[in-house]
Amino acid sequence: MKDYDVFHAGDVVLQNGSVLTEATVAYATYGKLNKARDNVIVYPTFFCGNHADNEWLIGEDRALDPRRYFIVVPNLVGNGFSASPSNSVASPGPRFPFVSIYDNVTLQHRLLTEKFEARRVALAVGWSMGAQQAFQWGALYPDYVERIAPFCGSARTSRHNFVFLEGVKAALRADQTFEGGAYRRSPIEGLKAVGRVYAGWGFSQAFYRSECDLKELGFPNLESFIVGFWEALFTRMDANDLLSMLATWQAADISANATYAGDFARALRGVKARAVVMPCTTDLYFPPEDSAIEVGLMPNAELKVIPSIWGHSAGALGLNKTDAAFIDRAITGLLAE
């Protein structure tokens, strides 16, 4: 059963001047748009995630309550559901153009305004690359977006985060069967290597020290966790899709557009929305220090650090109930304001 719809945006001129032919945004919705058309929550997906992976935060007992809000979950371009190297007819595989966070958010804005004629966005929220899109929503549409709640993400990819992702890309490309993106069969060894590289980054040192992979996630040993969790996560992905999303991530910067002309501080000051920014204490690539710098420049933002040893995965998939509850409570508070 297809649990999502597709917004056909036509041929879209991207930020870098190239054209995404027959651009599509796959999206899922939860709840109903009210008569005032102002109960919209936009909740973009993350790296290698899709709309279904966002559902853990949506529910009648949650802040993202579909009885009250019209929740729209647009898939990130490149994730295999929205326009992607793996499904593009006009520019498949390595010919797929570079798509920025800005391009994603302007496409999502068209979805909300053209398809749903939404009058306001009550909240833009997301995890990781989803958080980067939430920040971009706030900076691009300050009079349209009332609140943002980015968690375990950043308004601009840090240099260290960029370097970490260079390692991920290099591990994939070291597999010669990748053939510069022209592979006939999936470069499985490269994708497994991506999983193994990611494994050290996706949770914290303390997570592994406390053996949460065994005690909380139920894997029988460390190797089965690496294989069953990390390798499995990436071997199901298309390699060019992966690289498309990584390029988007590495270039993420809410000020990299005509509105802000690269002035990062001005872009942060431009976020009028009430904001709750939630890094995790032990996140290895979106460390709370970066979030604190961002919040310090935002006029209407509060920093709420998730106290957790789950690292970046404090915000992942509701894996950890305590962290999920922390995030849910913070969003409840934000929506009540």
Positions marked catalytic: 128, 283, 312
Q: How far apart are CB 313 and a second copy at their closest, in Å?
A: 13
Contact at 8 Å (CB) between 50 and 75? yes
Taking the least distance from each CB to a second copy, the nearer of 6 and 284 is: 284
Q: Rounded to whole angstroms, how far apart are CA atoms 27 and 83? A: 12
Taking the least distance from each CB to a second copy, the nearer of 58 and 193 is: 193
Q: How far apart are CB 275 and a second copy at their closest, in Å?
A: 21
Taking the least distance from each CB to a second copy, the nearer of 199 and 256 is: 199
Pairing outcome for strands 147-151 and 274-277: parallel
Unique residue bearing structure tokens 């390798």: 231
Q: Rounded to whole angstroms, how far apart are CA atoms 177 and 242? A: 15
Spatial neighbors of 311 by CB under 8 A, at least 6 apart, are 201, 202, 203, 204, 207, 280, 282, 283, 284
Q: How far apart are CB 328 and a second copy at their closest, in Å?
A: 28
In degrees, rounded to 5, the angle at the alpha carbon of residue 237 between the alpha carbons of residues 78 and 128 is 60
Q: How far apart are CB 136 and a second copy at their closest, in Å?
A: 21
Q: At what angle do helices 239-250 and 129-140 cross, to 10 degrees?
A: 50
Positions in the binding site for a second copy (CB under 8 A): 158-160, 162-164, 166-167, 169-177, 189-190, 192-193, 195-201, 204-209, 211, 222, 226, 284-285, 287, 289-290
Pairing outcome for strands 5-13 and 121-127: unpaired
Q: Rounded to whole angstroms, how far apart are CA atoms 179 and 173? A: 8
Q: How far apart are CB 139 and a second copy at their closest, in Å?
A: 21
Please tell me whether residue 178 adopts helix, strand or coil conformation.
Answer: helix
